[in-house]
Amino acid sequence: MKAAQARVLLTGASGGIGQAIREALLRAGAQVLGVSRSPQRAGPPGLRWVQADVTSSAGLEAIAAAARAGQANLVVHAAGLPGFGPLQRLSQAQIQSVLQANLAAPILLTQALLPELMQRPKAQIVFVGSALGRIGLPGFSLYGASKAGLHGFAEALRRELADGPVRVQLLAPRSTRTAFNDAQAQAYNKAAGTQSDSPQTVAQALIELIESESSERYIGWPERLAVRLGGAFPVWLDGSFKAHRRYLSADEPPAEEGERS
Ligand SMILES: NC(=O)c1ccc[n+]([C@@H]2O[C@H](COP(=O)([O-])OP(=O)(O)OC[C@H]3O[C@@H](n4cnc5c(N)ncnc54)[C@H](OP(=O)(O)O)[C@@H]3O)[C@@H](O)[C@H]2O)c1
């Protein structure tokens, strides 16, 4: 659909990428209903907010009710949590909250919105995944698992709904310059030579994806190549991550007194 015809429910609208997306959508003439846990000031014409937590049942109900009232015909799932670090350093609570926010919440919200979207002559659902949902990087086992799950969900749902009015799409950014990447993740990216994009680049790619109605879009050519190669011959890429591992082991916290031999 043309962005100007979109009545958008946008989760993650208060984040770095979400803010760029909502500004691009508003400029293109869309109406936007933004979702965030944090309270937001009333925006420019065309922008409304619902304050809700996508990981709670009450939050999902509030979002679904607001989407119904606004007759949403485009849903962009951009809410998400980072999960950087070697697996042994992640807490159980962090593992659960990343999987909840990045995977369970978009699945449950999609399920809640689907009956309404199926009534529209035409509707679209865009999942914001990640290049790391297809390229398994050291230090991103948890985050990559959450996004790989989301990619799998989007692909199966796209095929499940192919005969109806709802089109399912996936946008997979690579590293993007927002607060999502803390100082450690930024240092890791620098050590590994990972390139990054501005949130505006991601927002422009989203507008193009919506208007093209194509199934998926990966941002960045080295990442697109790695996705292709990794898809066909996954073990070929296994030798490519020495710099990443070197950064992670150099960043190990010093052992406690009692742990030293
Ligand atoms: N930045 C990157 O390098 C990068 C690369 C590839 C993909 N992505 C993906 O792009 C999306 C946006 O990332 P970003 O860089 O914009 O991150 P960000 O600046 O940290 O923003 C995260 C957004 O998610 C929302 N959010 C998190 N947990 C929530 C919850 N439980 N309920 C409701 N909203 C919640 C936050 O809203 P409140 O805190 O206001 O509630 C905020 O709007 C994420 O899905 C991320 O995985 C990011």
Q: For the purposes of burial, counting CB atoms within 10 Å of the CB of 255, is it exposed (0-12), middle (13-18) or buried (19 or more)?
A: exposed
- ∠ CA(210), CA(213), CA(217), 5° rounding? 75
Whole-angstrom distance, CA of residue 105 vs CA of residue 86: 24
What is the rounded CA–CA span in Å between residue 26 and residue 118?
A: 24
Instruction: Name the residue of 22, 33, 36 whose CB sits within 8 Å of the most ligand 1 atoms, as the mutation to test its pocket.
Output: 36
**Which domains are seen in the chain, by residue range?**
3-252 (3.40.50.720)
Dist. CA 252 → ligand 1 center (Å):
26
Q: What is the pTM of this model?
A: 0.95
- In the numeric block, which tokens belong to residue 107? 């699945």
Is 38's C-beta closer than 6 angstroms to any atom of ligand 1? yes
Instruction: Examine the pLDDT at 251 and tell me if it is beyond 50.
Output: yes
Q: Which pair of structure tokens corresponds to residue 123?
A: 């509707």
pLDDT, tens digit (0-9, with 9 covering 90-100), for 43-93: 799 999 999 999 999 999 999 999 999 999 999 999 999 999 999 999 999
Is residue 197 within 6 Å of ligand 1 at its C-beta? no
Taking the CA of residue 179 as reference, the ligand 1 atom at the shortest distance is 19
Give the pLDDT confidence of 193-236 residue by residue, as tens digits.
999 999 999 999 999 999 999 999 999 999 999 999 988 988 88
Q: Which residue has 């922008």 as its token pair?
A: 47
Q: How far is the CA of 259 from the centre of ligand 1 (A)?
A: 37
Query: What confidence tens digit (pLDDT) does each residue in 1-11 have?
Result: 999 999 999 99
Q: What is the pLDDT of residues 112-154, one digit of tens each?
A: 999 999 999 999 999 999 999 999 999 999 999 999 999 999 9
For the Cβ of 18 lying below 6 angstroms from any atom of ligand 1, the answer is yes
Ligand 1: atom nearest CA of 56 is 31
- Does the pLDDT at position 255 exceed 70? no
Place of tokens 């995977």: 103
Burial (CB count within 10 angstroms: exposed 0-12, middle 13-18, buried 19+), residue 45:
exposed
Residue 101 CB less than 6 A away from ligand 1: yes
Question: In angstroms, what is the span from residue 126 Cα to ligand 1's centroid?
Answer: 14
- What is the 185 CA–ligand 1 centroid distance (Å)? 15
Percent of the chain past pLDDT 70, that is, above it, reads: 96
Cα–Cα distance measured from residue 74 to residue 67, given in angstroms and rounded to the nearest whole number: 10
- Do the bridges between strand 47-51 and strand 74-77 make them parallel or antiparallel, or are there none, so unpaired? unpaired
Q: How far is ligand 1, taken at its centre, from the CA of residue 94, in Å?
A: 15
